[in-house]
A and B are shown apart, each in its own frame.
Chain A
Amino acid sequence: MWKKFAGLSFVANGFCLLAGKILTESGLGNFILLYLLIFYAIGFLWSFSLGLKKKIVPTKKGVLIGAGAGISSFFGSLFLLLALKQVPGSIVFPIAIGGNLVTVSLLAAFFFKERLAVRGTLGIISGIAGLILLSI
């Protein structure tokens, strides 16, 4: 059952990213901030309604980490959309979205002392090589 949900999340995330690509391809690159405001406001309303429905009590730690993630997400999305105005999507998405999985795994191994298996190490090496090839 979890595979069905994970597969659907793949499709939903893909279409979420595609919306940004359509925005820049439609020549609406000057409306990036308006797009981001509506994007986050709609996401917030859905998420807030879910929290109310499930009667979830917010914790200070959760809110603070969320705030940090919000700042990072805003700037990440802003730079992603600005990049899409100049660089092909087939280069931007693998570096910004695919690359972050590689960098997060690498930093988690350094800072959180997470142990990396052989496949993980190979994945990081392959990811760094891929990032270099895409950026030169």
Chain B
Amino acid sequence: MLFTFLALIFFTLFGLCYKVSASQKNNPVVVNTSMLFCAGLISLFSLLLNKPSQYNFTTGALGFLGGSFFFTATLLVLYALKNGGKISICWTILNLGMVIPVLFSIFFWKESLELKKILGLVLIFSSIILIGQSKE
């Protein structure tokens, strides 16, 4: 669980950066391009430091698809905002996208869930909806 909570901490910092950016009215395309460049640069250095001995086509294809979907998702949010969408609602809908890998995990990869975990999932999904509605 340590990695899961470390991911939560860093994604929280990520979200706060976007909050600061929105409050300062920075251009989202500039922030996104700089964000992707920096993250790509760190990935490159980390990869080189680990002295990779082999490459894998499937990983490349998944990286290509993941990166393209990520860009598409952020672009669509920008269009939604331009067409009258509110940032809190659009951000909430974007985050709710996690329901897709969760459903795949349960039904495709057959991950079993105890009752308390199901209750935890329900509480998290309701909290996302409540937070999204509270800022409307």
Tell me the A residues contacting B by CB distance below 8 Å. 1-3, 5-23, 25-26, 28, 31, 33-44, 46-48, 50-51, 54, 56, 58-59, 61-77, 79-80, 82-83, 86-105, 107-108, 112, 116-127, 129-136
Contacts and interface: CB of A to CB of B under 8 A. Distances in A.
Contacts of B32: 47, 66
Among B59, B79, B119, chain A packs the most CB atoms within 10 A around the CB of: B59
Nearest to A25: B109
Contacts of A105: 131
A95 B62 contact: no
Contact of B69 (A7, A15, A35, A102): A15
B123 A70 contact: no
Contacts of B128: 98, 101-102, 123, 127
Contacts of A13: 69-70, 73, 94-95, 97-98
B131 A124 contact: yes
Contacts of B76: 5-6, 8-9, 12
B93 A130 contact: no
B117 A91 contact: yes
Given A74-B43, A83-B1, 17 more contacts: A6-B90, A12-B70, A13-B94, A20-B66, A31-B55, A34-B60, A39-B63, A39-B66, A39-B70, A47-B74, A65-B17, A65-B34, A70-B38, A79-B3, A80-B11, A87-B4, A95-B4
A47 B71 contact: yes
Contact of B130 (A23, A42, A96, A123): A123
